[in-house]
Amino acid sequence: MITVTRTKAKHFLTKSKLNDGLTCNPYGGCQHGCLYCYANYTVPGRSDYDAWGKAVEIREYPNLDIPRNTGAKPLIFSSATDAYQPIEATERSMRRILEAIHESDLKVKILTKGALVERDVDIFRRMRSLEVGFSLSLDDRAARIFEPGASAPSARISALRQLKTAGLKTYVFIAPIFPHLTDVFALIETLRADVDYFMFDTLNLSHPHNRQKILEAIRKHYPEHYPAYVRIFMDKDKTYYQTLKQEISGHMDAHGLDYTYIYP
């Protein structure tokens, strides 16, 4: 059961600390409810962390202040929510925003776990600069545990292929990499024909609340990996991710694939 609220918002674009550009969060909260989500901890003054995934705020913009000449500023969808979470199917907030900005000079980048993104391919084709990517790191079984409200990874892959077939620039963000659960190399091989580039990131469990949730879930569903998770996330052993990074770089370079890391 999802609690839905509505607020009036003045501006739909805000400055982003991530890329010296802009970001847009059409919703507050996220129905995808990923257990590891750290957007959960970014709302000042809020401590009801277990409510994440169960409440969505719909932001209504009476006036969409459409930027025309921004100097090709980057615009990210989204930094603290997922614009293609299930409620978008009926609310269509993201679609209205895209209709408003599609003629601007913004360099738009969308990252999602919602296969619903495929719906907007007609607008995407009209945009001047656009990249659409999916976060993917788990199989369908594990995603039901760790990303319970998101589209199944198999549905994301199928949507990604549709977007590529439509001629769009696409990428995949292999993140968060779950030690011993994410088969990075299988994902690369599955997706290399469908994306223009790859990005990689680790599982970030720096907040005690999400660390506890993930460790509990690993102990329950993947007990054989629990000792490794304690070593990596409690004892701060960096060996796993450092070794993996070297292996990924070797693989990507050997196959001439384009990639970046988010983690150091």
The CB-side HSE value for 263 (13 A sphere, CA atoms) comes to 18
* C-alpha span between 61 and 58 (Å, rounded): 10
Residue 254: CB minimum distance to ligand SF4, A: 31
Buried residues in 127-144 as b, exposed as e (16+ CB within 10 A): beebbbbbbbbbbeebbe
Q: At what angle do helices 226-233 and 208-221 cross, to 10 degrees?
A: 160
Q: How many residues bind ligand SF4 (CB under 6 A)?
A: 10
- In the complex with ligand SF4, which residue's Cβ is closer, 9 or 39? 39
Residue 114: CB minimum distance to ligand SF4, A: 8
- In the complex with ligand SF4, which residue's Cβ is closer, 28 or 67? 28
Binding flags for ligand SF4, 7-46, as an x/- string (CB under 6 A): -----------------------x-xxx--x-x-------
Q: Are 261 and 201 in contact (CB under 8 A)?
A: yes
Residue 84: CB minimum distance to ligand SF4, A: 9
Footprint on residues 47-106 left by ligand SF4 (CB under 6 A): 81-82
Residue 108: CB minimum distance to ligand SF4, A: 18
* C-alpha span between 106 and 168 (Å, rounded): 16
- In the complex with ligand SF4, which residue's Cβ is closer, 39 or 230? 39
Footprint on residues 213-232 left by ligand SF4 (CB under 6 A): none
- In the complex with ligand SF4, which residue's Cβ is closer, 35 or 230? 35
Instruction: With CA atoms as reference, report the closest residue to 133 among 83, 80, 186.
Output: 83
* C-alpha span between 238 and 81 (Å, rounded): 29
Q: Which residue has the tokens 């690993």?
A: 218
Among 107, 109, 113, 213, binds ligand SF4 (CB under 6 A): 113
Residue 138: CB minimum distance to ligand SF4, A: 12
What SS3 class is residue 197?
A: strand
Q: Which residues are at the interface with ligand SF4 (CB under 6 A)?
A: 30, 32-34, 37, 39, 81-82, 113, 150
